[in-house]
Chain A
Amino acid sequence: MAYALQQLINGLTLGAMYGLIAIGYTMVYGIIGMINFAHGDIFMVSAFIAVTAFTILAAADVTSIPLALTFVLIVSIFFTSAYGWAVERTAYRPLRGSTRLAPLISAIGMSIFLQNSVQLTQGARVKPIPPVLEGGIVLWDAPGFTVQIGWSQMLIIVTTVILMTAFTWMITQTPFGRQQRACEQDRTMASLLGVNVDRTISFTFMLGAALAAVAGVMVTVYYGVVDFFIGFLAGIKAFTAAVLGGIGSLPGAMLGGLLIGLIESFWAAYLWAEYKDVATFGILCLVLMLRPSGLLGRPEVEKV
């Protein structure tokens, strides 16, 4: 029981991170209908930026943890959004209006490019940083097993909840959200009605990158190590989460992320840890067989 509770906490933490990345996928898919394969690598870039920022702070003898976290978050969000913008501008915008596969290939190329440029400029070795947040609260001191929620886990879950709320508010209530949803429904019509489609799409990419940046900082704080290859698996998992929840649906992305996180940690805890990715993809296949447009996705109505 205690063990299961601990797995629940771990799974939620993991799921929150997947959810944050998944939103980037789902928003981009919703607005221009492409899989942004480079999104996982944008997340990886943000983790590297976080490592550099933390190291700078350590060198500057900043000891206040809230101050450090805020600084790292702001720096990471700023630069990562710039990356999100640049990737869209160079690799995807010129391909708008061509075949559906063209941006996918250029996204895969971008992903390879980002991975290798980080490997070249930052080195191929794993980067460890000293633990930022240690300890936590003991929730339950059961005989033989202690259930604990770490500060970093709490930080991740709370940040995700806050971000999700803010994000939902932004999409449903603000002018930008309205423009974004308008472009999602019909880009031509939106442009006729005076929505700057290119700017909205750019901004969508920057927002997705900003959320990935938050996830990147969280991963750095939680695991304490970063290497240039983390983007691939995290990206695939997050994309799976987005599809599981129904691609194009924001609550779906969050739900999918949580589910994938929970499945992974429970499967790893009780069954075979080495097959946890098989479980993730297996369940994805099962869900899609029963509900071809994901858990919360609207079935596409096709017109001839």
Chain B
Amino acid sequence: MSAVVFARHAMTPAERLRDAGWVAFVGLILGIPLVGLTTVDVGGRLGVETRFGLLAAAIAAVFAGRLLLRWAIDQARNRKQERDRASTATAADRAHGAQRVVNVLGWVALGASIALPIVFSDNRYVVDTATTVLIYVMLGWGLNVVVGLAGLLDLGYVAFYAVGAYSYALLSTQFGWSFWEALPVSGAMAATFGILLGYPILRLRGDYLAIVTLGFGEIIRIILVNWTEFSNGPNGISSIPRPSFFGLEFTRSAPEGSQTFAGFFGLEFSPMHRLIFLYYLILVLALLTHAFVSRLRKLPVGRAWEALREDEIACQAMGMNTTNIKLSAFAIGAMLGGFAGVFFAARQGFISPESFTFTESAIILAIVVLGGMGSQMGVVLAATLLVLIPEFGRNFAEYRMLLFGLAMVLIMVWRPGGLLSHREPTVRLNALDKAASTKEATR
């Protein structure tokens, strides 16, 4: 059986049929208890209902799908082999070419994101979705510092997002702070939490680290749910003030002593103004994050992160202070998450612990890993994909999370290194670089 499934060569039609038959058989076994049978409420008690028609249809679909998939894989493999034989380009050349494409793509994406609200200036849905994408891009870039650069697996990143969001919500509703006053304070707050979490677990590695960060995320959420006097519990905090444009409010009528945005610029009031402003706000925040992280990567601390990711023992042997390196990664990652949280709270106007579940952490981590760890453009690509898949799925709403999970598995299996795999060090010694590429060429 494994010979059939594992065939490295192109399959004959008979083999394909047998392979698809085997997959359909497995599907049948898996399908019987969940698809073929279900329990329904019959007069207050459970009764069993059979759905063998549905099961048969599902199995037929699996059979056909597997046949097609197998055929497509073989076709793709043949084409790739022919291309490989025909072209003389080395792996290094191809990697350089890919890098150029990615760079161009980055500029195109930037142009598109600036132009988007102008083109879709009266399409609320598009601007809203694009804002969501940008929040995830920013979160992804923040987590990328911790996971992609420093190589510390963080499964509780959403905790810092929550800290940022709640800091702003409480500061603004309780003490009347404005968005711009609260932003740095909330970021600092999140960074403090990052250090608080980071300090006790410095000695932990890999998966021990993962579970403690996961636990930390859950602890924050449980406290937010249960400490009602502080966070208003599961009801959340509502009527959080929206950010203003240098003191100009995005409302129909201004409060006393100030002006509205529309009034000041002599425009007709439109609720779209605020959405577009929010969009540009997160775009600027995200771009600042990008610039900040890209700079950091070239500074000693950024190089230290990458060194730590590659080999911790070597770092220690070189006399680097791993404690500070790890803490700085946690703190900066947390701060960026905090900023995103502040924006989230300001945009929604309402937050509750429900927005900060483990699933959210998992989605952010998935964005980083699917994008290709350490790759900034990869994060953009993955964030767009992961936000849009459920959006497209809205037409068949129940299936959207199913598709989402399936897509995560399939993308990972298809490209284990991420969509844009880029694990090269940011800085390279020139001589070594040349030596490496000649070695590639002669191979």
Contact = CB atoms under 8 A, between A and B. Distances in A.
Given A79-B32, A100-B206, A302-B313, A95 B412 contact: yes
Interface string A29-42: 10000010000000
B29 A300 contact: no
Contacts of B41: 125
Contact of B33 (A79, A116, A128, A272): A79
B203 A292 contact: yes
Contact of B153 (A101, A103, A122, A281): A101
Interface in B197-217: 200-201, 203-208, 210-212, 214-216
B33 A281 contact: no
B180 interface: no
Contact of A109 (B38, B205, B313, B408): B408
Give the secondary structure class of A's interface: helix
A116 B38 contact: no
Contact of B39 (A117, A127, A198): A127
Contacts of B98: none
B358 interface: yes
A266 interface: no
A99 B373 contact: yes
Report the contact-size class of chain B (Cβ under 8 Å from the partner): 35 or more
A300 B205 contact: yes
A113 B405 contact: yes
Contact of B366 (A109, A115, A236): A109
Contacts of A75: 33
Interface of B: 2, 26, 29-30, 32-35, 37-41, 45-48, 147, 153, 200-201, 203-208, 210-212, 214-216, 218-219, 222-223, 225-226, 311, 313-314, 358-359, 362, 365-366, 369-370, 373, 398-399, 401-402, 404-409, 412-413, 416-417
Interface of A: 29, 35, 45, 48-49, 51-52, 55-56, 58-59, 75, 79, 82-83, 86, 90-91, 94-95, 98-106, 108-123, 125, 127-130, 198, 232, 236, 239-240, 243, 247, 272, 274-275, 277-278, 280-282, 284-285, 288-289, 292-294, 300, 302, 304
7 contacts: A82-B26, A82-B30, A102-B369, A112-B405, A113-B406, A236-B358, A284-B211
Given A120-B402, A236-B358, 15 more contacts: A51-B46, A59-B48, A94-B416, A95-B412, A98-B417, A108-B365, A109-B405, A109-B408, A116-B402, A117-B402, A123-B40, A128-B46, A130-B45, A285-B212, A288-B208
Closest 10 interchain pairs by CB?
A109-B408, A112-B405, A281-B215, A113-B405, A98-B416, A106-B412, A116-B402, A109-B409, A102-B416, A116-B401
